[in-house]
Every structure is written in structure tokens, then in C-alpha cells.
Amino acid sequence: MTVSLSVLLERGDRVKDIKSYSLKELEEEFVTELNLPRFRAKQVYKWLTLGVESFEEMTDISKELRNNLSNTYYISVATIEKKLVSVYDKTVKYLFKLYDGEFIESVVMNYKHGYTICISTQVGCKMGCSFCATGKSGFSRNLTPSEMLSQIQSAQKDLEIRISNIVLMGMGEPLDNYANVIKFLRLVSSEDGLNIGMRHISLSTCGLVDKIYELEKENLQLTLSVSLHAPNNEIRSQTMPVNRRYPIEELLKACRHYADTTGRRISFEYAMISGVNDSDECARELGKRLKGMLCHVNLIPVNNVEGNSYKKSRIDRQKRFIEILSKYYITATVRRTLGSDINASCGQLRRKTISDDI
Ligand code: SAH
Ligand code: SF4
């Protein structure tokens, strides 16, 4: 598994993406390639973790070395292009601009137990789910580990807070950008870096089965969320094209294996769409499929997205779903909606910005 540590800047230089290095990798490179003492890497790494955006800001390093470093390396940043704050609950949504002019979104939510950030892992997404704004705008490219870190650092700096939880539920399919996402997870949870523990991280996937087996072997203590959204192949293939490649039986087999092997509870996401997947029969089918698995179901009233006619299920349907699932000993809760006035679910702001620009 390799992660590219260099990027091609707009001005045409190929420079190395310093924020995608681990401290150990940077130390090795400083010593063997740049002839620098090991402690210099530690010094630079500390600044990078603090979120500096240029080598100029590294004030305890000589000007000459700062110049040398800026010819070899590039510091990835996520620049705030737009910021929306919810008047209801102070949820903040960012549209960030990347070095090549691409846009991504992140959302910061303030819960009782601290700040949670929802970050993007790709610019766009290839998976094309019919209810999702990101899926509708197509795919541009994968994010680097440093670009995932930069979303957290920019938000922390702007809001003057420390983020304690991360969910990989923004734009993109994390397991479709596997190597970069795993590298990011290792960097962000490292004691040398932002030091956000794996137990405070959730990764959400639409269900790339082979990658779920790979992730299981990484032995990470994170929470795996699986976007299920349907109890059978017929409905799931209609809304989630990925189901045609990995049918629900294979997906749930992988989930059971993951839960059994890691001992960690899987979180199933289920966006309730009125008249599509919210009948009593759907709840019973779901209950039968999940029975006996170490899991929890998060019911999410579907967010309306421009260009489709999906409607949220009514509250009585949500309650009924929970009641039926409980008969199969499956716990389910309705996820609280935050930032409803700022379209906090990801993909919508980027889409709007792109279409405004055209
Ligand atoms: N690609 C990953 C993670 C990003 S999407 C995945 O699909 O899991 C994050 C979550 O938002 C997923 O559970 C996704 O199904 C859900 N989602 C997307 N559009 C939505 C909408 N319009 N309403 C409710 N949930 C939505
Ligand atoms: Fe991609 Fe997830 Fe949106 Fe599906 S729901 S299109 S997998 S981001």
C-alpha cells in the first residue's frame, strides 16, 4: 500500500507533500536525503501539527533552511471559501478551496461531549447514490492524507476550538481512497500529530465489500458505519448502484465477519425515504437480516436534495421502524438533524458553487 507523497503544483513544480509524512518518515528523509539532524524534523513536525500554512511561520528555524524546505516541500492547506453558521445550533459548514482550485466541504458540530468534524475524503464521488448531492456532481480526484488533516486544522484555527471527534462522512467514499484514508487515520491518531484517538473516529462506507475485509485486518479501533438504506437488493440497487456490484447478502456477511472479528459494533445508516424504504415490511426484512449481529441502526430522515423528489418519512413511520426492529433485538435511534438551515449534509454547497460559477 503506497501513498503518493508528492503533488504537482499549478506552477508546474513537483514538490513533496510534507503534511502527508509521519514523523518517522520525515526524520528518515531529513537525515538521509537532506543531511539534516533528526531533531530538525521534530521541530518542523511540531509546526505542521500546529497548522502553520507556510515555512515562513517556523520562527525557530533559520531563514536559509526555511527557503530550502520550501523548494522541496509543499504545505497543504484548506482555504475557507465560504462559511455558513446555523442560527439554530451553531453547526458550521465550510466550503474549502484546495491548491488546484477544487472545492470540498466539512461540517463542524457541537455536541455535549465536544466538537465533531465531518470531513471529505474525495472531491466528488464515483458511487452515484440517487439521494446524495455529492453523488450527483461526479468525481474529480482523491484527497491526500494532508488534505484530510487540513480540513480539521483550518476549522480548529477558524473557530479557536479543539476538535475531539472525526467522522469520515463528508464528500466521497473513504474506502474508494483506501491507502490515503488509512494513512490519514494513522497520522491523525498519532501522538506526534493531532492525537485524536481511533475510538473517536467513525468511517462511513457505502459498502465496498473487499475493502471492508481489508479494513478489518488493519485492526483499528474506529467505528465502522455502513450506509445500508434498504433491506433488500431490489430497493438498494435502485438507490445505490454499488449494490449491483456487492449485493446486500455479501455486504452483510462482510459486516458480520467484521463485527465478530473486531468485537466492534457496526453502525448501519438508514435514510428513511417516504414510500421507498419505510414500510413495516421493510422494517421486518431489515430486522431479519440484522438479527444477532453486533450493531446499531441510525435512522436518518432523508435530506431533500435538488433534482430528486425524495421526501422524509413521517415521525410515526420512524417510531414504527424502531418498534419493529426492537422485536428482532436490534437497537435503533433517529439521528438528530443539525444545521438544517445550512444544508449541512455534504455535497450541496459545492454543487451550488460550481453551478453558480457556470
Ligand atoms: N460515501 C460514504 C460516506 C459519505 S456519505 C457513505 O456513503 O457512507 C455520508 C452519509 O450521508 C451516508 O450514510 C450517506 O448515505 C448519507 N447521505 C447522503 N445523502 C443523504 C441525504 N440526502 N439524506 C440523508 N443522508 C444522506
Ligand atoms: Fe458517494 Fe456516499 Fe454520496 Fe453514495 S452516499 S454518492 S457513496 S458520498
Pick the ligand that lies closest to the CA of residue 348. 1
Q: Is residue 160 among the annotated active site residues?
A: no
Residue 250 has pLDDT above 80, yes or no: yes
Cα–Cα distance measured from residue 223 to residue 213, given in angstroms and rounded to the nearest whole number: 14
pLDDT at res. 355: 47
Percentage of the chain beyond pLDDT 70 is 91
Q: Percentages helix, strand, coil for the chain, rounded to the nearest 5?
A: 40, 20, 35
Ligand 1 atom at minimum distance from 301 CA: 24
Model confidence pLDDT, tens digit, residues 76-92: 999 999 999 998 888 99
Cell numbers placing 168: 469520515
pLDDT at res. 137: 82
- Supply the pTM of this predicted model: 0.94
Q: What integer is the mean pLDDT of 221-228?
A: 97
- Taking the centre of ligand 1 as the mean of its atom positions, its distance from the CA of residue 151, in whole angstroms, is 19
Cα–Cα distance measured from residue 155 to residue 150, given in angstroms and rounded to the nearest whole number: 8
Burial class (CB within 10 angstroms; exposed 0-12, middle 13-18, buried 19+) of 43: middle
Catalytic one of 27, 29, 105, 285: 105
Lateral strand order in the sheet of 201-205: 79-85, 92-97, 103-111, 114-118, 163-168, 201-205, 223-227, 266-272, 295-301, 331-334
Ligand 2: residues with CB < 6 A are: 125, 127-129, 132, 134-135, 172-173, 206, 227
Model confidence pLDDT, tens digit, residues 8-32: 554 445 689 999 999 999 999 999 9
Query: What is the sign, positive or negative, of the torsion defined by CA atoms of 18, 23, 25, 26?
Result: positive
Q: Is residue 25 among the annotated active site residues?
A: no
Residue 2 has pLDDT above 90, yes or no: no
Give the residue whose CA is nearest to atom 8 of ligand 1.
205
Mutation pick for ligand 2 pocket among 105, 123, 129, 209 (CB with most ligand atoms within 8 Å)? 129
Q: What integer is the mean pLDDT of 141-159?
A: 97
Model confidence pLDDT, tens digit, residues 290-316: 999 999 999 999 988 877 789 999 999
Model confidence pLDDT, tens digit, residues 160-208: 999 999 999 999 999 999 999 999 999 999 999 999 999 999 999 999 9
pLDDT at res. 349: 56
